[in-house]
A and B are shown apart, each in its own frame.
Chain A
Amino acid sequence: MLALVIAVPVLCALVSGLVPWRRATGWLGAASAAGVLVLGIALAVGIVDGRPVTGVGGILRADALSAFMVIVIGVIAVLATCQSVRYLEAEIAAGRCTRRHASLYGALVQGFLATMLLAVLAANLGVLWVAVEATTVVTVFLVGHRRARTSLEASWKYIVICSVGIAMAFLGTVLFYLAALHATGHGAHPLDWTSLVAQSHRLDPGVLRLAFALIVLGYGTKVGLVPMHSWLPDAHSQAPAPVSALMSGVLITVAFYAILRFKVVAEGALGPAFPRTLLVIVSLLSLALAASLLLTQRDVKRMLAYHSVEHMGLIALGAAAGSPLAIAAVLLHILGHGLAKGVLFLTSGEILLAEGTSEIERIPALLSRRPVLGGIFAFGLVALLGFPPFSLFVSELNMLRAEFQVGLGWAAVLSLLCMAVIFGAVMSHGRHLLLGPKGSDAPAMTPALVAVPLIGGLVGCAFIGISAWPLEPLLHAAARVVSP
């Protein structure tokens, strides 16, 4: 079962890579993403009340948290792969991309899904590292797929900064391994998460302090947390829209998932104070940075990218609180943010396609000129800013409540201040983009094939905000995994 989840996109990558791109292979990619989603749901249904399952000789392991992340990956992947078909057709029609090059894109997107799935299903924290590093390798050429000079610059920055960050995470993993060997001797699998958690009270605190700091800094690079965030706005704004949706919607939260796993072990050895302090610091710095830089953004996709830095800051603060309520809210936020951000990036890709630019100044009055696209963008922004009925409202509220409960009220107040600044900045950009001075052109229509998945994503985001069913039991089971 677990191997199958990863095998689906791997097989699809092989097929997409071997034949020149055509419409059918594009839809095959979407079918593979849908398959991952279905398998993820089946996995979750089996695990939510029962025991974790393992596979492939104990290399893979899924508990409720893993199953939840598989579902998140599947949902955003369905949206992104559907939109990829349209992106590639437009690029081929415009002569910017050959069919060969398009098939490479298809294969890399599936490889990207496979590496993310391996990351969340790995039993061994070393394998988790290998998988997260592999996500960088497969996404570099996707970021540079448009082959513009700016995308080349973004790809270079992306791989250099992320390789260095992930090297620090590797050192952190090695130090966890050292501590485990020292405490237990050569056991069966000292780097397995379950055995690390079981032994955590015996691990050397001095080493773990250094190790966890390296983990937060290292995986924090991939999450886009300050101080190693500078690649994120470049890579997320230069990548093709479906890739931006995947990177901003799920990849950064998959990296955060790694921090959550290590945090449990670190808490076992060090108590809650040290991991909490560390996460609060990076979170508040990220929020402050996002607030100050969002004010001056001129490009839609860069604005969305900095918005991701903000949301990762919020998630880090929620994780710092660490109570079951906080973790459940963090996980709901991961899904809600993924949906809203995915929809917004895909919409921005559609805007770029229709308008030829993504500069906010040059695309005013979108609501009157392109009512459907503008409407989706408007609702997406409303969701992202945390208004009800969308799920980000619920998750942000619960994270704030949890932060006050554990005595992080001051940090919660600071985060609210940053959110207020960001709210103002995004509103002013959004007002220009959506309302702005009206032109005289007749409204342009958006194809239903484009609009339906995007609207579906927003409806889904609202649905999980209103209804506890069907996610509630899974969220609580997943929260118990990392917050016993």
Chain B
Amino acid sequence: MTGSAYAGALGLGAAVVLLCAVVTLWRRALGAIVRVLAVQGLALACVAMAIGVHEHDAGLIVVAVLVLAAKAIVVPTLILRVVRHDPASRETQPLVNVPASLVAAGALTFLAFAASRSVTSLVPTVVGRLIPFGLAAMLVGFFSLVTRRKAVSQIVGILLVDNGVALIAFLATAGVPLIVELGASLDVLLVVVVLQVLANQLRSRLGTTDLDQLVELHD
């Protein structure tokens, strides 16, 4: 791969990761949101693959394949199984409405660019300039966690945060050491499985996966 094509591919991948995060705020149908998440996983795997090929890093190529399997296929499938059993599978009343959410996403992206200045200075290549995209995707994930009230939306929020961090890790350090990467992927997968089981328990107990029903514990 030539230098400019490499930079272009990475830029495209990072931009798709951020774009997908923003789109999850915009769509209301939970099924569509999960599919957007799968696309984000695919883009993340492509970024890892591109870096792996460019740096001749066999470990990273393996990781890219794992990311593809886990984040683009397995995790979305697991979440879709929760969505399919939910009769009202739409995010009807987020705490912040969609236009305001999109404005917030824009503001968070600016914040991400401002906050990551110290980090990008350590990664002098073109790759470093893309780190704010990962941070922005992560912040959008936070935003979706605090403003969305469906169990599935919160699972997606966690994964947005996670994908954002993973993008930063790939761009900044060409991935963490293999053993850490494997452990981290396994942990994320298990978290999703646990969340799926809990969401199903919620539905069978409450008849809905609306988290506004969870109000018994407070001070």
Binding site for B on A (CB under 8 A): 59, 124, 126-127, 129-130, 133-134, 136-137, 140-141, 144, 149-150, 152-157, 159-160, 163-164, 167, 170-171, 173-175, 177-179, 181-182, 189-191, 204, 206-207, 209-210, 233-234, 237-238, 293, 296-297, 302
Q: A156-B211, A159-B195 are in contact. Are A178 and B216 (CB under 8 A)?
A: no
Q: How far is the CA of A159 from the CA of B190 in the complex (A)?
A: 11
Hey, what's the 0/1 contact readout for B156-199 against A, CB within 8 Å counting as 1? 01100110010011001100110110011011001100110010
Q: Which applies to chain B's interface (DSSP): helix, strand, loop or mixed?
A: helix
Contact A238 B119 (CB under 8 A): no
Among residues of A, the one whose C-beta sits closest to the C-beta of B116 is A210
Contact B184 A296 (CB under 8 A): no
Contact A175 B202 (CB under 8 A): no
Contact A174 B173 (CB under 8 A): yes
Q: A126-B176, A167-B165, A171-B165 are in contact. Are A207 and B119 (CB under 8 A)?
A: yes
- Select which of B123, B138, B217 is within 8 A of A171 by beta carbon: B138
Q: Which applies to chain A's interface (DSSP): helix, strand, loop or mixed?
A: helix
- Select which of B162, B180, B201 is within 8 A of A124 by beta carbon: B180
The 23 listed contacts between A and B (C-beta, < 8 Å) are A130-B180, A130-B184, A133-B187, A136-B191, A144-B198, A144-B201, A150-B216, A152-B214, A154-B217, A160-B158, A167-B138, A167-B161, A167-B165, A170-B165, A174-B168, A174-B172, A174-B173, A177-B173, A178-B119, A206-B118, A210-B118, A238-B217, A302-B219
Hey, what's the 0/1 contact readout for B196-219 against A, CB within 8 Å counting as 1? 001001100110000100101101
Contact B119 A153 (CB under 8 A): no
Q: Please indicate which of the listed interface residues A129, A160, A177, A191 has the most CB atoms of chain B within 10 Å of its own CB.
A: A160
Residues of the B chain whose Cβ atoms lie less than 8 Å from the Cβ of A210:
115, 118-119
Q: Does B154 belong to the interface (CB within 8 Å)?
A: yes
Q: A124-B177, A182-B122, A207-B118 are in contact. Are A174 and B169 (CB under 8 A)?
A: yes
Residues of the A chain whose Cβ atoms lie less than 8 Å from the Cβ of B183:
126-127, 130, 134
- Select which of B145, B151, B190 is within 8 A of A137 by beta carbon: B190
Contact B219 A293 (CB under 8 A): yes
Q: A126-B179, A153-B214 are in contact. Are A174 and B165 (CB under 8 A)?
A: yes
Residues of the B chain whose Cβ atoms lie less than 8 Å from the Cβ of A126:
176-177, 179-180, 183-184
- Select which of B184, B195, B214, B219 is within 8 A of A129 by beta carbon: B184
Q: How far is the CA of A291 from the CA of B60 in the complex (A)?
A: 49
Contact B122 A174 (CB under 8 A): no
Q: How far is the CA of A238 from the CA of B217 in the complex (A)?
A: 9
Q: How far is the CA of A179 from the CA of B217 in the complex (A)?
A: 42
Contact B118 A127 (CB under 8 A): no
- Select which of A133, A191, A204, A297 is within 8 A of B176 by beta carbon: A191
Q: How far is the CA of A324 from the CA of B61 in the complex (A)?
A: 45
Residues of the A chain whose Cβ atoms lie less than 8 Å from the Cβ of B216:
149-150, 153
Q: A150-B217, A153-B216, A177-B173 are in contact. Are A209 and B118 (CB under 8 A)?
A: yes
Contact A155 B191 (CB under 8 A): no
Q: Does B4 belong to the interface (CB within 8 Å)?
A: no
Contact A130 B122 (CB under 8 A): no
Contact B122 A178 (CB under 8 A): yes
Q: Does B113 belong to the interface (CB within 8 Å)?
A: no
Q: How far is the CA of A149 from the CA of B216 in the complex (A)?
A: 9
Contact B173 A149 (CB under 8 A): no
Q: Please indicate which of the listed interface residues B142, B168, B184, B201 has the most CB atoms of chain A within 10 Å of its own CB.
A: B184
Among residues of B, the one whose C-beta sits closest to the C-beta of A211 is B119
Contact B194 A137 (CB under 8 A): yes
Residues of the A chain whose Cβ atoms lie less than 8 Å from the Cβ of B115:
210
Q: Which of B117-167 contact A (CB under 8 A)?
A: 118-119, 121-123, 138, 142, 145, 151, 154, 157-158, 161-162, 165
Q: How far is the CA of A160 from the CA of B154 in the complex (A)?
A: 8
Q: Please indicate which of the listed interface residues B165, B173, B214 has the most CB atoms of chain A within 10 Å of its own CB.
A: B173
CB distance from A480 to the nearest CB of B (A): 28
Residues of the A chain whose Cβ atoms lie less than 8 Å from the Cβ of B190:
134, 137
Contact B179 A127 (CB under 8 A): yes
- Select which of A144, A159, A296 is within 8 A of B191 by beta carbon: A159
- Select which of A134, A234, A293 is within 8 A of B187 by beta carbon: A134
Residues of the B chain whose Cβ atoms lie less than 8 Å from the Cβ of A137:
187, 190-191, 194
Contact A164 B142 (CB under 8 A): yes
Q: A124-B177, A174-B168 are in contact. Are A156 and B214 (CB under 8 A)?
A: yes
Residues of the B chain whose Cβ atoms lie less than 8 Å from the Cβ of A159:
191, 194-195, 198
Residues of the B chain whose Cβ atoms lie less than 8 Å from the Cβ of A191:
176-177, 180
Contact B219 A204 (CB under 8 A): no
Q: How far is the CA of A61 from the CA of B217 in the complex (A)?
A: 41
Contact B217 A153 (CB under 8 A): yes
